[in-house]
Amino acid sequence: MLSSAKEYYEGVFQLLKKHHAWFRCVIPLIASENVPSPAVREAIITDFGNRYAEGWPGRRVYAGCTYIDQVELLCIELAKKLFNAEFVDVRPISGVVANLAVYTAFAEPGDYMLALSIPSGGHISMGKKKLGGTAGAVHGLNVEYLALNHQELNVDVDETIRIVEELVKTGKTPKLVMFGGSVLPFPHPVKEMEGYFHNLGATVVYDAAHVAGLIAGGTFQDPLREGADVVTLSTHKTLPGPQHGMILSLEKHAERIKRATFPGVVSNHHLQNVAGVAVALAEMLEFGRKYAKQVIRNAKALGQALYERGFKVLAEHKGFTESHVLLIDITEYGDGGKIEKELEKANIIINRNLLPWDIREGRHYMNPGGIRLGTSETTRLGMKEKQMEEIAEFIKRVIVDKESTEKVKEDVVEFRKNFQKVHFCFEKLRDAYEYIEIK
Ligand SMILES: *Cc1c(COP(=O)(O)O)cnc(C)c1O
């Protein structure tokens, strides 16, 4: 317990500064995270963050939106260009909120929805009620699972059709299908399956939270061209913007989505982040292709380098990944929770992850059999294939050689010294993790 208001006040800033100082020296490998450019950081500390703009640009129910409207329209225009989308709603404040808006727009409580289970790479926002997932617990949907082929780390088309046929027979025809997920190393079979689902009368949704930056960079599948009706996304995973969400769709769905977003799931929509997203999208329009290509090259290189050092990187027969993400079976060395903590001591930041067969084998999400690594943030810092080798070696020294984490950390700090700027952006006056004082 601290004793005075001033101590609490100072305490917060001390901790923020420590975090920034620490992140200058770590290897950030969390697949759902990224580092925004200094320009994005500037946009998100503006007065936009103190305003309301309920409604649609030009038809707000608040005054003071003159410039806010213009920025939101720029953001929409940029997103339409980048994703080649007919309609864009940039108001959802996160990926979960974007999904909830889509559930609201296209399904009623009690309807059936298909998605990947969480151990298979699905996200908790697609989860069943008994797991507290958004789809089940908040919107009252009955969630059934798409089948995953464990070898291929991808949706099993034939097995999924078999499951759906059974559902249809018992009157549980799905209204919604969610492709995409939080472990998405290979393009999902949207093109192969959209016709089947559309024939059943279902809306086909693709959750691009993880891969939005790769789609924008033209290096991953393009769900809207492959027959998806709607795409939801987070703006801060492979897409290097501030934390926010977005929905893309065909024009014919525009009104339902608009209404589901507001008044459905947002009131204020974090206008500072809409501005930040617009800046990030402009940077992607200029640098996105190069960035996305390098992210994938780095992921493949990191997968190969870890594999050569004895790690069980999944989907080796397919080159480990076609995206930014790698999944590693770590059971030989402990559980994902323990490994995550060990690596953190050496300034290597990764996260534990369930393997598709973990629940069946009695493992739990706190102590799963896997770890998940992503290469977007390190790529933004200017790292390439050679650095991926070095990172793999650091990881091996901690986990396989069981070298002192203190010693490895010293080397990691040294290694990081050369990677302090954000790349793939127009201006780099500030370092990536520089603490900016304005008070
Ligand atoms: C991260 C993620 C989300 C949620 O994103 P937030 O922006 O954190 O709300 C939704 N779906 C998938 C597949 C995700 O990985």
Average pLDDT on 166-171 reads: 97
Cα–Cα distance for residue pair 273/263, rounded to 1 Å: 19
Query: Residue 255 is inside which H or E element, if any?
Result: helix 254-259
Q: Tell me the pLDDT band of 313, cut-offs 50, 70 and 90.
A: very high
Q: Which own/partner pairs from 74-81 qualify as long-range (CB within 8 Å, at least 24 positions apart)?
A: 74/278, 75/274, 75/275, 75/277, 75/278, 75/281, 78/278, 78/281, 78/282, 78/285, 79/246, 79/248, 79/277, 79/281, 81/285
Q: Which two tokens stand for residue 402?
A: 């069981």
Measure Cα distances from 257 to 58, 196, 231, 252, 291 in Å. Answer: 18, 23, 11, 10, 31
Asked if residue 313 belongs to a domain, the reply is no
Asked if residue 321 belongs to a domain, the reply is no
Nearest to 155 by CA among 194, 124, 127: 194
Q: Backbone dihedral region of 195: left (phi > 0), alpha (psi from -120 to 50 degrees) or beta?
A: alpha
What ligand 1 atom has the least distance to the C-alpha of 97? Answer: 9
What's the structural domain count of the chain?
A: 1
101 CA distance to ligand 1 centroid (A)? 13
What ligand 1 atom has the least distance to the C-alpha of 243? Answer: 7
232 CA distance to ligand 1 centroid (A)? 9
Give 75's contacts (C-beta < 8 A, 6+ positions apart): 90, 274, 275, 277, 278, 281
Tell whether pTM > 0.95: yes
Average pLDDT on 98-118 reads: 98
Asked if residue 200 belongs to a domain, the reply is yes
Q: Which of 60-64, 109-113, 141-145 has the lowest mean pLDDT?
A: 60-64
pLDDT of residue 300: 98
171 CA distance to ligand 1 centroid (A)? 30
Which of 116, 177, 207 to mutate for ligand 1's pocket (most ligand atoms within 8 Å of CB)?
A: 207
Range of the domain at 240: 42-281
Cα–Cα distance for residue pair 112/135, rounded to 1 Å: 10
pLDDT of residue 333: 97
Give 333's contacts (C-beta < 8 A, 6+ positions apart): 339, 399, 400
pLDDT of residue 211: 98
What ligand 1 atom has the least distance to the C-alpha of 94? Answer: 7
Please report, for the domain that includes residue 194, its CATH number: 3.40.640.10
Average pLDDT on 20-30 reads: 98
Give 176's contacts (C-beta < 8 A, 6+ positions apart): 102, 103, 106, 107, 111, 112, 113, 114, 141, 202, 203, 205
Asked if residue 183 belongs to a domain, the reply is yes
Nearest to 297 by CA among 388, 162, 392: 388
237 CA distance to ligand 1 centroid (A)? 9
Asked if residue 68 belongs to a domain, the reply is yes
Reported as a single tens digit per residue, the pLDDT across 265-305 is 999 999 999 999 999 999 999 999 999 999 999 999 999 99
Asked if residue 239 belongs to a domain, the reply is yes
Q: Closest Cα to atom 5, ligand 1: which residue?
A: 95
Q: Which two tokens stand for residue 40?
A: 């994005």
Q: Closest Cα to atom 13, ligand 1: which residue?
A: 181
Reported as a single tens digit per residue, the pLDDT across 193-218 is 999 999 999 999 999 999 999 999 99
Q: Closest Cα to atom 8, ligand 1: which residue?
A: 95
8 A C-beta contact, residue 252 and residue 113: no
What ligand 1 atom has the least distance to the C-alpha of 210? Answer: 15
Measure Cα distances from 258 to 64, 219, 252 in Å. Answer: 21, 29, 12
What ligand 1 atom has the least distance to the C-alpha of 237? Answer: 1
Nearest to 359 by CA among 112, 122, 159, 141: 122
Q: Closest Cα to atom 2, ligand 1: which residue?
A: 209
208 CA distance to ligand 1 centroid (A)? 8
Three-class DSSP category at 16? helix
Average pLDDT on 73-93 reads: 98
What ligand 1 atom has the least distance to the C-alpha of 99? Answer: 10
Q: Tell me the pLDDT band of 1, cut-offs 50, 70 and 90.
A: confident
* Protein residues whose CB sits closer than 6 Å to any atom of ligand 1: 32, 94-96, 99, 123, 125, 180-182, 207, 209-210, 234, 245
What ligand 1 atom has the least distance to the C-alpha of 184? Answer: 13
Q: Closest Cα to atom 3, ligand 1: which residue?
A: 95
Cα–Cα distance for residue pair 24/37, rounded to 1 Å: 14
Asked if residue 157 belongs to a domain, the reply is yes
Q: Does 2 score more than 90 pLDDT?
A: no
DSSP string, 42-78: HHTTSGGGG----EETTEESSSS-HHHHHHHHHHHHH
Which of 30, 32, 214, 324 to mutate for ligand 1's pocket (most ligand atoms within 8 Å of CB)?
A: 32
Reported as a single tens digit per residue, the pLDDT across 321-345 is 999 999 999 999 999 999 999 999 9
The distance from CA 273 to its chain's CA centroid, rounded to whole angstroms, is: 16
DSSP string, 391-422: HHHHHHHHHTS---HHHHHHHHHHHHTT--S-
Asked if residue 127 belongs to a domain, the reply is yes
Cα–Cα distance for residue pair 226/366, rounded to 1 Å: 36
> Is the preceding omega at residue 223 within 30 degrees of 0, hence cis?
no
Q: Closest Cα to atom 15, ligand 1: which residue?
A: 182
pLDDT of residue 17: 98
